[in-house]
């Protein structure tokens, strides 16, 4: 039976040439060398260190395109006779019953990168929602009546702190009624806690795109906090999901760093500086969060001096004098500070004083004495002395033709001119004190 012999001979030849089942070796990734752990072989891309049978004395280099380069990861290694090398075929699944959720994929980040020259074939385009620090996301696995803020470190107003990693307040209290919708702005306040601002008014529910809702966002100053996102609520919203959340983190904006206002001098903008410093005894700056302002207060007579500034309003009777940079006191005057009365005292000494009144001696020439016919100006002395007990009243007579302070005297002790004119007689009447002008 020549045919059977030929078949048997062919089978024997095939058995000689076919590849045997590859022998598998268990091992662990990595090696410990000079107090350091090494997994990938330096200078040999794609190769890893494997401790065969978990024995440090049997360390090999194996080609790896199957698992993550994680130290002590259990693997299976086979021998590739074609290329005369060891190959990591996969994880040693029999080592653990529960491997968690990680697939331990091999290193392949380069194929998802988009470099200027060498970019991968499977580029990952990252959107703002995928950026986790302080991101606003649904709470729980299916959403709820609030949202969740991922945690991260933040730098606010010169201080470092940790914010987020917590839920927002309940937002369903802000759901509108009827066929409308509104926006709830979620931001981190100065205390590093999630806070809410609600849009006003409500708007058409057909506006759902990011560019469409921006006009309805509530205003938020840089002193209030950092915006994170907005949640769109309708009357029928049952839970907050990704459909209702809009990311608003200012990743490319500079918040709370530049000057909050422009400083001007009589309408002329001044150069922007890092600090605005108020100096002097009678001037100070106060933060007013209620009005979202910085209040500048000036009080008392101790006001800022210098060219073009003033501390008092100078008036002559009811006429207001123009403002000048200096107030000059001439003559026998002295100026002194009086902290007890919070005043600047102006005084005088010597004989050359400023008269407070003209002193006029008035006397009649007619015997009837019904009116004064003449006045004589008295010499200005240091004192005006009223003596005796005959002075009865001192009154201000605005209607007097002299705008005078009127002194009424009676009795025999009357003030008189030392040498009255010829023909006049002593008349107990009025002594007129006319204001000095």
This prediction's pTM: 0.48
In whole angstroms, give the CA distance from residue 90 to residue 66: 6
pLDDT confidence tier of residue 65, bands split at 50, 70 and 90? very high
Q: To the nearest whole percent, how much of the chain has pLDDT over 70?
A: 67
Per-residue three-class SS string for the chain = CHHHHHHHHHHHHHHHHCCCCCCEEEEEECEEECCEEECECCCCCCEEEEEECCCCCCEEEEEECCCCCCCCCEEEEEEECCCCEEEEEEECCCCCCCCCCCCCCCCCHHHHCCCCCCCCCCCCCCCHHHCCCCCEEECCCCCECCEEECCEEEEECCEEEEECCEECCCCHHHCCCCCCEEEEEEEEECCCCEEEEECCCCECCCCCCHHHHHHHCCCCCCCCEEEEEEEEEECCCCCECHHHEEECCCCCCCCCCCCCCCCEECCEECCCCCCCCCCCCCEEEEEECCCCEEEEEECCCCCCCCCCCCCCCCEECCEECCCCCCCCCCCCEEEEEEHHHCEEEEEECCCCCCCCEEEEEEECCCCCCCCCCEEEECCCCCCCCCCCCCEEEEEEECCCCCCEEEEEECCCCCCCCCCCCCCCCCCCCEEEEEECC
Task: Read off the pLDDT of residues 74-88 as tens digits, 9 standing for 90 and up.
Answer: 999 999 888 889 999
The least confident of 18-27, 103-112, 266-275 is: 266-275
Q: To the nearest whole percent, how much of the chain has pLDDT over 90?
A: 32
How far CA 173 is from CA of 177, 194, 207, 239, in Å, comes to 11, 16, 21, 13
pLDDT, the chain, mean: 77
Please say if the pLDDT value at position 349 is more than 50: yes
What value does the mean pLDDT take over residues 296-305? 58
> What are the chain's domains?
21-91 (2.40.50), 129-247 (no CATH), 357-435 (no CATH)
Identify the CA nearest to 47 among candidates 79, 27, 69. 69
């Amino acid at each position: 039976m020549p045919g059977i012999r030929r078949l048997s001979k062919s089978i024997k030849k095939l058995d000689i040439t076919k590849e045997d089942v590859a022998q598998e070796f268990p091992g662990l990734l990595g090696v410990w060398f000079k107090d350091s752990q090494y997994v990938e072989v330096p200078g040999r891309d794609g190769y890893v260190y494997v401790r065969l049978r978990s024995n440090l004395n049997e360390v090999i280099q194996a080609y790896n395109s199957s698992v993550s380069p994680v130290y002590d990861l259990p693997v299976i290694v086979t021998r590739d006779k074609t290329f005369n090398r060891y190959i990591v075929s996969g994880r040693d699944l029999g080592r653990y019953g529960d491997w968690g959720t990680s697939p331990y994929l091999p290193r392949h980040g380069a194929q998802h990168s988009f470099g200027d020259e060498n970019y991968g074939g499977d580029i990952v385009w990252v959107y703002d929602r995928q950026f986790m620090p302080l991101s606003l996301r649904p709470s729980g696995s299916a959403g709820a009546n609030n949202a969740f803020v991922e945690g991260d470190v933040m730098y606010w107003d010169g201080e470092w702190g940790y914010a987020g990693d917590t839920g927002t307040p309940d937002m369903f209290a802000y759901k509108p009624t009827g066929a409308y919708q509104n926006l709830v702005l979620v931001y981190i306040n100065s205390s590093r806690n999630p806070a809410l601002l609600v849009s006003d008014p409500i708007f058409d529910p057909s506006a759902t795109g990011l560019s469409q809702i921006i006009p309805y966002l509530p205003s938020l100053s840089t002193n209030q906090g950092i915006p994170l996102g907005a949640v769109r609520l309708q009357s029928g919203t049952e839970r907050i999901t990704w459909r209702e959340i809009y990311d608003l983190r200012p990743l490319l904006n500079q918040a709370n760093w530049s000057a909050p206002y422009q400083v001007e001098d009589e309408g002329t903008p001044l150069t922007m500086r890092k600090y605005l410093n108020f100096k002097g005894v009678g001037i100070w700056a106060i933060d007013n969060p209620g009005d979202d302002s910085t209040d500048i207060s000036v009080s008392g007579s101790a006001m800022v001096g210098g060219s073009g500034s003033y501390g008092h309003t100078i008036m002559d009777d009811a006429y207001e004098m123009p403002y000048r940079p200096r107030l000059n006191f001439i003559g026998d005057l002295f100026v002194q500070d009086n902290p007890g009365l919070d005043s600047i005292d102006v005084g005088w000494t010597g004989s050359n004083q400023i008269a407070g009144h003209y002193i006029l001696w008035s006397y009649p020439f007619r015997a009837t004495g019904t009116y004064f016919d003449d006045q004589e100006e008295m010499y200005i002395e240091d004192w005006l002395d009223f003596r005796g007990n005959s002075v009865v009243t001192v009154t201000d007579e605005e209607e007097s033709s002299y705008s005078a302070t009127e002194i009424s005297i009676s009795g025999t002790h009357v003030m008189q001119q030392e040498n009255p004119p010829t023909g006049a007689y002593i008349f107990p009447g009025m002594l007129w004190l006319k204001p000095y002008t």
